[in-house]
Amino acid sequence: MKKPGKPPFSRAKDGDRRPPARNVPASPRNAGKPLAGSDAAFRRPAPDLAVIYGGHAVREALRANRRKCLDLFATAPALERLQAELADRDVKVHVVAPETLDARLGAEAVHQGLLLEARPLPALDITDIEVKSGLVLALDQITDPHNVGAILRTAAAFAVDGVIVTERHAPDFSGVLAKTASGGLEHAPLIEVVNLARALDQLGDAGFLRVGLDSEGSASLEDTVLSRPTVLVLGAEGKGLRRLTREKCDVLARLDMPGAIKSLNVSNACAVALTLARQALNQQA
């Protein structure tokens, strides 16, 4: 594991961007005024681009500066609210009508007048995890973008050191997920692995306590003795943790609910688990 303080993220190369669209003026570095643009500039993105929409998601993508931001499609009022974030960013700006964004994203999408096309986040590996908070999340085939987005938002709020997902059973990290994460996608280090069981082996070898959240756990999470660093492993709703994932955990713990409802949505369960784990680790400090 890398020592605290070492920058974990590799930057995208400056040349890693698409050629500018024809007949569309590029924005200056200091975007003081909305640029003239047309709906014709609003085209389907290439497959290797992430589509991010919504006020918080777009603003944090620009602020965090972890990914290469290429084209911003915005209504004039929404663009006015982003002048500070655009001041030092080389992003091509297109002023479009709200209906153009509706046509692209669908009438149900709450885009708030903003859509950003950008490169995917830099790829991270297990070895890129920097132990700071002492907490990592591992998601065992949680595929619903709303749940994963909410988990990433919570992870960013708790400053977790990493969120591990599997490559084949995870949602696309843009669109609905990025909107639900409300900017958390840009701040929670995301690590995609081919094999979660192997990743848990690596974490165990690195000194992580592996705690699987399971309704059939032998002890409650509140009564479980945690050590720093800890990885909390969450399973998909309904399915829970897979057998091999359970076997790789050092402890299986449950969340005890005192009320009439005994189960929580996985994203809510994640928030409760992080709260309890953070309290337990802080008491040891």
d(CA 233, CA 248): 10
Please tell me the CATH superfamily of domain 39-118, with its number. Ribosomal protein L30/S12 (3.30.1330.30)
Per-residue pLDDT tens for 33-43? 333 334 434 44
**By mean pLDDT, which of 7-21, 42-56, 184-198, 202-216 is the weakest?**
7-21
Residue 144 has pLDDT above 80, yes or no: yes
Q: Which top CATH class is 126-284?
A: alpha beta
Question: Which pair of tokens denotes residue 1?
Answer: 């594991």
| Residue 33, pLDDT score | 36
- DSSP-derived 3-state class of residue 52: strand
Amino acid 47: pLDDT: 62
pLDDT for residue 28 is more than 80: no
b/e 200-214 (16+ beta carbons within 10 angstroms → b) = bebbeeeebbbbbbb
Look at residue 283 in the predicted model and tell me its pLDDT.
Answer: 87
Q: What are the pLDDT digits (tens) for 64-80?
A: 999 999 999 999 999 99
SS3 220: strand
Q: Which residue is it, tokens 């639900």?
A: 180
Domain boundaries, the chain: 39-118, 126-284
Query: pTM (2 decimals)?
Result: 0.81
At residue 174, the pLDDT reads 87
Supply angle C-alpha 127, 184, 263, rounded to 5: 95
Tokens standing for 96? 């479009």
pLDDT > 90: what percent of the chain? Answer: 71
34 is written with which tokens? 């909305």
